[in-house]
Amino acid sequence: MEEKKKISDEVVLDVKDVNISFKTTVGSLNAIRGVNFTLHRGETVAIVGESGSGKSVTVKAVMGIKSANERVNAGEILYTYEENGQKKTVDLLKFSKREMVEKFNGKHIAMVFQDPMTALNPLLTIGAQLTEGMRKHLKLSKEEAWKKGEELLREVGIPNPALTMKSYPHQLSGGMRQRVVIAIAISCNPDVLICDEPTTALDVTIQAKILELIQEMQRKRNISVIYITHDLGVVAKVADFVAVMYAGKIVEKGTAYEIYFKPRHPYTWGLLLAMPDLNTTDERLYAIPGTPPNLLKKIVGDAFAPRNAYALNIDFEEEPPVYRLSETHEVSSWLEHPDAPRVEMPEALVRRIERMEKEVS
Amino acid sequence: MSTFVEKEILLEVEGLKQYFPIDNKNTVKAVDDVSFMVRKGTTFGLVGESGSGKSTIGRSIIRLYNPTDGTIKLNGREISGRMTAEKKHFLTTNMQMIFQDPMASLNPRKKVIDIVAEGLDANHLYKSKKEREEKVYAMLEKVGLNHEQANRYPHMFSGGQRQRIGIARAIIMEPELIIADECISALDVSIQAQVINIMKELQEEQGLTYLFIAHDLAMVKYISDYIGVIHLGHFVEMGTKEDIFNHAVHPYTKSLLSAIPEPNPVTEPSRRAVSYDKKAEGVDYTKGKKHYLSETHMVLATDEELAKWTGAAMH
Amino acid sequence: MVDSRYTFANQDGIYKDEAFGVVASWKETLIVFSRNKGAVFGVIFILLMVILAVFGPTMNEYTYDYVQVDRQNMPPRIPGLEKLGIFDGTTKGVDIYELKGCKDEYYWFGTDTLGRDLFTRFCQGTRISLIVAVISALLDLVIGVSYGLISGYYGGKVDMVMQRITEIINGIPSLVIVSLLVVVMSPGLASIIVAMTISGWIGMSRLVRANTLRLKASEHIMASKTLGTGTVKILFKEIFPNLLSSVIVMAMMSVPGAIFMESFLSFVGLGIPAPQASLGSLISDGYNHMLMYPYQLAIPAVFFALLMISLNLAGDGLRDALDPKQKRV
């Protein structure tokens, strides 16, 4: 099976070797230990990981949202955009919070947050919040912005835009609020949209609709999207490219097809198997034993080794290098070393993939 | 091995209503005339979205709320109605709950050993300090935690470990029925699998019965023997796994089933979920009757609705 | 020939869970607190005042009420510092000590109109002020916490009645209460403490009630109920420990208020009776001679101000350090 979508060659965001630590009362916590990925125009990249993997910290760095005790140890985030007809490339990590807010946030890079309840200001009308960005970045007048706001609300599927503009957040349901948040995010025509678990707080029946809405907006406006999620069902629906993060590093990345049909890293296998789908008949769910490591301690070797049933001795000594399996598929695992034993993915996963391939044809 | 319907009934709920008055005029009818049974040694999966009333049902049964109306019987004994000390003791030693939020369900100022032993303390279930300690250690080992950690505080544990402490706290009371109120919803995917495995193991070992409240149908299918789908305070459909997942009749159930995302990147992007609009379809739950399509499969519908939906199912 | 590094590590199935977190929470509080320079200064100054209050009155040979008519209004003279030209017992260039022929005597903070040693009176006064403030804060705490816990936990009618009572008490101006009390009871420590306690506990009870209402809905309280724990135990083991940090901070912040109230009462003459001293009465006395003998006002006033600031800084620092919502990562 081939992927249907052709990804543009134009690189919008290039995250290179980013390393970030947090200074806490008990020591330095190395949350991001070397992350690399690229985002092309019109592409959807999903960063998958569990709590503590560092996925939220990574995208917050792209937005310039930094805590007071956060230190960027190394790396760059190169963002390519157009200003006054000229193409510019800048390193986002070099800007201060203020500069990011002035130049990029909302205007070029926008974010949809997880909790629609707290993402909106309860004291302002929807209209006020929707027009704020447009008046600032696009220099529209109050009336123009208001009109455009109504159009945006219609576009995101809100039934009564004029009335909604005058309403307050608490008068809307969760799904409606998230649509408003999306409208605000796209209001200034950003190049990049970052969605941090946008559907986790919503009911299952609304989730699909919100994801479809984001896809539609993306297609119409040629926006590049980064999704942060731990839900592999969401990833399957929206992602072109998937990066799996564990303990501050990307352990495997590739196209969605490669990750779901040809996964190579044991952690990826664990994640795929931990999700029971409607056809699981096994007696026990495969569960990765233990919990993610404490990033306050320096990690020697592969961070996943202690929980890895397929760990090699070298996993405890040296960090695995990145192996290229195809033009798009990369794995960071010693199992790909020529001297390493041949390992097959677990039975249950093989069966599931066979089942999926049958469904596809 | 007895079939499902031959198993003994442990929990019987009849006509449960839970209303919350907001002010003099308005009342929220969180649970509106709900009846069901949970059989011994099985897991009843209670599925619904937010606002459906599923958590309220759990809390009413365990008497955190006082039911507005209805009867609840545990092992044949009534536990609804006026609360007496005897009833309270019976309830405490036979039914326990596992909560949703791993952060909030443990007192941050108490050591783990005291948290797990709380039920024992309250009901004087041990004779010496040593016995108490031993019981707690045994429970911690059972849920996969090292007993050396018993003297630590909750903030030193991860979310999954905290939920396991919550499980230990519940099973140390040796209850017959455990109500699991969305107890894995707040956990990461791979940790959910760990906790579910432990729950399944305990069920096999000790013959526990679970009332598993959740919104994730895939997980519910995996762990439940019998499933009830609840919407706006009413059971719209109930049945075994087979009934619900292969022969669903009610459009709400169908919409829930189709909303489950499939981890298949080739088919999932273009798949569109079936939606259900109660108002548009003109469905009024208070007018529906309980129709039994088989010994186990129940659908809430008026006669016309039933004909329409089963007719549609047959085509 | 096979490189052993590339063979399986063969881990056994038993996975030992590691517990997170290395530092005890009180230690972390201490670390964060000590980073706040203002708070540390506050604590040091408070300790200094406490030392003066405890040991001060016996540090020199004078007592606080020893009247010496021929030693009136002597300027301060401190051995050692007098060589630097300050605190050398002179007023406008005139050496008063020499004038009075007592070159061998030292009054560190000078004397007042009755010739009483001001240093000893100052220390005595600090002692009284601190005692009043601490006892008052403790009473507020005990009464306020109990009241707030009960009102918040039981809710409903109980809560409604209890809150209306507080509102009524709060409505009566405290100065009126104090004045009436002074008439009924003889003026002194007891009357001041009673006066301040009558409405002082209300702030604490409101804080406790608000937090109790919030905690009541917590899942661990629900768990306690399902486990059969009795109400009293829930109040003191589940709810109260989680209020502790707010309560401590509020109690600390109420001490400056109490000292100020007592000083104010003394200043207007409703406080402790002569010849006893408190910071407020010293300031009051010094005020009367502000132009002639400025040191009599300046010294207690400066220390008083610094004490207020220190208590506030330390209280602020404590609140920041104890605040669990502060994201440390």
All structural domains of chain C: 26-73+111-322 (1.10.3720.10)
Which residues are paired to B104 by β-bridges? none
Selected residue with higher pLDDT from B170 and C35: B170
Its ipTM equals 0.87
B260–A205 C-beta distance less than 8 A: no
C28–A313 C-beta distance less than 8 A: no
pTM of the model: 0.84
Contacts of A356 in chain B (CB under 8 A): 263-264, 266-267
Nearest Cα of chain B lies from the Cα of A67 at a distance, in angstroms, of 21
Contacts of B267 in chain A (CB under 8 A): 356, 359-360
Contacts of A237 in chain B (CB under 8 A): 261, 268-269, 271
Nearest chain C residue to A20 by CA distance is C329
Which residues are paired to B294 by β-bridges? none
State chain A's maximal CA–CA distance in angstroms.
68
Residue A96 CB contacts under 8 Å (≥ 6 apart), including other chains: A64
A51 → closest Cβ in B159, B256, B265: B159
A360–B266 C-beta distance less than 8 A: yes
Q: Half-sphere exposure (CA, 13 Å, Cβ side) for A137? A: 24
pLDDT bin (cut points 50, 70, 90) of residue C328 is: very low
A22–C7 C-beta distance less than 8 A: no
Domain range for A347: 267-360
CB of C75 closer than 8 Å to CB of C110? yes
Per-residue pLDDT of A52-72, as tens digits, reads 888 989 999 998 888 888 999
pLDDT bin (cut points 50, 70, 90) of residue C29 is: confident
Please say if the pLDDT value at position A147 is more than 90.
Answer: yes
Q: How far apart are CA B118 and CA B137, in angstroms?
A: 14
Mean pLDDT, residues B150-169 taken together: 89
Nearest chain A residue to B269 by CA distance is A237
Percent of all residues in chain A with a pLDDT value above 90, rounded to a whole number? 46
Residue C41 CB contacts under 8 Å (≥ 6 apart), including other chains: C310, C313
Number of structural domains chain A divides into: 1
Minimum mean pLDDT range among A144-158, B11-25, C255-269 = C255-269
Per-residue pLDDT of B236-267, as tens digits, reads 999 998 899 999 999 999 999 888 888 889 88
Looking at residue C23, what is its pLDDT?
57
Per-residue pLDDT of B68-77, as tens digits, reads 999 999 998 9
Please say if the pLDDT value at position A13 is more than 90.
Answer: yes
C220–B106 C-beta distance less than 8 A: yes
pLDDT bin (cut points 50, 70, 90) of residue A146 is: very high
Please say if the pLDDT value at position C13 is more than 60.
Answer: no
Residue carrying the six token digits 């099976």: A1
DSSP conformation class of A253: E
Looking at residue B15, what is its pLDDT?
93
Looking at residue A2, what is its pLDDT?
47
pLDDT bin (cut points 50, 70, 90) of residue B284 is: confident
In a domain, A157, yes or no: no
DSSP conformation class of A52: T
Per-residue pLDDT of B199-234, as tens digits, reads 999 999 999 999 999 988 888 888 999 999 999 999
Q: Is C32 left (phi over 0), alpha (psi -120 to 50) or beta?
A: alpha
Residues 21-50 of C with CB under 8 A from B: 21, 25
Structural domains of chain B sorted by starting position, each given as residue range(s) with its CATH number in brackets: 4-314 (3.40.50.300)
Looking at residue C25, what is its pLDDT?
66
C3–A22 C-beta distance less than 8 A: no
Nearest Cα of chain A lies from the Cα of B79 at a distance, in angstroms, of 33
Chain C interface includes B100 (CB < 8 A): yes
Mean pLDDT, residues C292-310 taken together: 89
Please say if the pLDDT value at position B58 is more than 70.
Answer: yes
Q: How far apart are CA B278 and CA B16, in angstroms?
A: 23
B197 → closest Cβ in A207, A233, A284: A284
Minimum mean pLDDT range among A43-52, B245-254, C177-186 = C177-186
Please say if the pLDDT value at position C22 is more than 50.
Answer: yes
Q: Which of A286, A302, A313 to mutate to test the interface with C (most CBs of C within 10 A)?
A: A313
Q: How far apart are CA C125 and CA B175, in angstroms?
A: 63
Minimum mean pLDDT range among A57-71, A248-262, C82-96, C275-289 = C82-96
Question: Using a CB cutoff of 8 Å and minimum separation of 24, what contacts does B297-301 make?
Answer: B297/B237, B297/B238, B297/B239, B297/B240, B297/B243, B297/B247, B297/B249, B298/B235, B298/B237, B298/B238, B298/B239, B299/B236, B299/B237, B299/B249, B299/B250, B300/B234, B300/B235, B300/B236, B300/B237, B300/B250, B301/B249, B301/B250
A29–C5 C-beta distance less than 8 A: no
Give SS3 for A68.
coil
Minimum mean pLDDT range among A164-168, B2-6, B197-201 = B2-6
Which residues are paired to A250 by β-bridges? A245
B64–C218 C-beta distance less than 8 A: no
Looking at residue C16, what is its pLDDT?
54
Chain B interface includes A281 (CB < 8 A): no
Question: What does the CA dihedral B241, B243, B247, B253 come to, rounded to 10 degrees?
Answer: -70
Q: How far apart are CA A329 and CA A68, in angstroms?
A: 36
Q: Which of B268, B270, B277, B279 to mutate to test the interface with A (most CBs of A within 10 A)?
A: B268
In a domain, A249, yes or no: no
Looking at residue C256, what is its pLDDT?
80
In a domain, A295, yes or no: yes
Cα C217 off chain centre by: 33
Chain B interface includes A239 (CB < 8 A): yes
Q: Over chain B, what HEC string results?
A: CCCHHHCCEEEEEEEEEEEEECCCCCEEEEEEEEEEEEECCCEEEEECCCCCCHHHHHHHHCCCCCCCEEEEEECCEECCCCCCHHHHHHHHHHEEEECCCCCCCCCCCCCHHHHHHHHHHHHCCCCCHHHHHHHHHHHHHHCCCCHHHHHCCHHHCCHHHHHHHHHHHHHCCCCCEEEEECCCCCCCHHHHHHHHHHHHHHHHHHCCEEEEEECCHHHHHHHCCEEEEEECCEEEEEEEHHHHHHHCCCHHHHHHHHHCCCCCCCCHHHCCCCCCCHHHHCCCHHHCEEEECCCCCEEEECHHHHHHHHHHHHC
In whole angstroms, how far apart are CA A245 and each of A47, A228, B77? 7, 10, 52
